[in-house]
Chain A
Amino acid sequence: MPGDATTTCWSCGDMRAAHFCSSCGKVQPPAPVDYFTFFGLPRKLNLDTAALEVEFYELSRRLHPDVYGRADSKEQHWSLEKSSQLNDAYRILKDPIRRTEYLLRLEGIELEEQSKTATEKARNTGELKKQIVPPELLEEVFNLNMELQELRTQRQMGEDDPALIEELGRQKLELERKFEALSKELRTYWDEWDQAVENGNDQERRKVRDKMVDLLNRRNYIRNLVRDVNEGLET
């Protein structure tokens, strides 16, 4: 059954209920909960998406506004609101990357805020700010962008350098391999995260959280880069 029971039913006042009263079956008012809680899931990253899908369809069916055509306006309104909450929750949780990013936000990660604070610290202490993106990757991103720019310039002049195109194609494959490797690596962090949650180990939890932030940052870069190369290679 979905969700931990949180309140008593508004209608029969009997059982504690999540989406529907477990006693009289009436729909319950929407609560401002996170998406994991909405589905009654722990804040873990390994997730049975097949089971989630089943749950989603089941709730979709039961929450569908059509079902409440003759219910009172309060229930109609709730079913609408909860349906939209359900759709959002499912869209985010079923996707491995979105799920991870969402969880990191829940865990209080604000990338931009962090970056700004680190810059201020560097200014005050005179220490060099640790860059989130490793220098080798930055170097690669930079060089690839230079090559892409060259390709564009050549195209504008009506020329095509087959060697350059081949080189970009090769680098694209390399990037895609890296991208794949990062996705695999992320899954090992999921395991570490879930373990830390289970053990209630907050220190470990923060450590894994930071590793995931780091990895997603690198992944973003590579994703954008592959996109740019694809655009550049299109004729």
Chain B
Amino acid sequence: MAYSDKVLDHYSNPRNVGSMDKNSRDVGTGLVGAPECGDVMKLQIKVNPQTSVIEDAKFKTFGCGSAIASSSLATEWVKGKTIDEALQIKNTEIVQELSLPPVKIHCSVLAEDAIRAAIHDWKKKNGTTEKTAAPAEAKASP
């Protein structure tokens, strides 16, 4: 399958690859996976507690070119945004920006999930009140 130029660019020259200390209070970590293809994506954000601005973002993704490009783009986009702004990012915007074909839409979904999971983790650490959701569990309810 042919990748778009933008995917190729992010794939061969990914932005913000790396990791941050996940135990740091300012760092939120999102680890998500797409069972359809076995991809796994880790996205981390460093948030300024006073302003709620995401000052830095890192990712590491094991997966196809589209998954790598989606997460690379996601780190670029969240940087400089407040967490509330970052929560507005939609997977469809990633699809558009990278011209992802329909079979790769799940990669963009994964990237959006990763952003949300990272923000959720940060909020939890910093005691920001948030609606509690069902915890991700290994098994469906018995």
Taking chain A's interface residues, is the majority helix, strand, or loop, or is none over half, making it mixed?
Answer: helix
In the complex, the answer to whether A141 meets B112 with C-beta atoms within 8 Å is no
B87 and A221 contacting across the interface, CB-CB below 8 Å: no
Interface check B2, CB cutoff 8 A: no
Q: Would you give the shortest CB distance from B13 to chain A, in whole angstroms?
A: 18
CB distance from B70 to the nearest CB of A (A): 13
Verify A133–B131 contact, CB threshold 8 A.
no
Determine which of B31, B38, B91, B116 lies in contact with A224 in the assembled complex, contact meaning CB atoms within 8 Å: B38
- Interface size class for chain B? 20 to 34
Q: Which residue of chain A lies nearest to B42 when distances are taken between CB atoms in the complex?
A: A142
A138 cross-chain contacts in B, Cβ below 8 A: 31-33, 40
Q: A119-B112, A141-B40 are in contact. Are A130 and B106 (CB under 8 A)?
A: no
- Residues on A lying within 8 angstroms of B by beta carbon are 111-112, 115-116, 119, 122-123, 125-139, 141-142, 145-146, 149, 207, 210-211, 214, 217-218, 220-221, 224-225
25 chain-A/chain-B pairs, Cβ below 8 angstroms: A112-B109, A116-B91, A116-B106, A119-B113, A123-B87, A123-B116, A125-B131, A128-B133, A129-B113, A130-B135, A131-B32, A131-B113, A132-B33, A135-B31, A135-B136, A137-B33, A141-B33, A141-B38, A141-B62, A142-B40, A142-B42, A146-B60, A211-B139, A221-B35, A224-B38
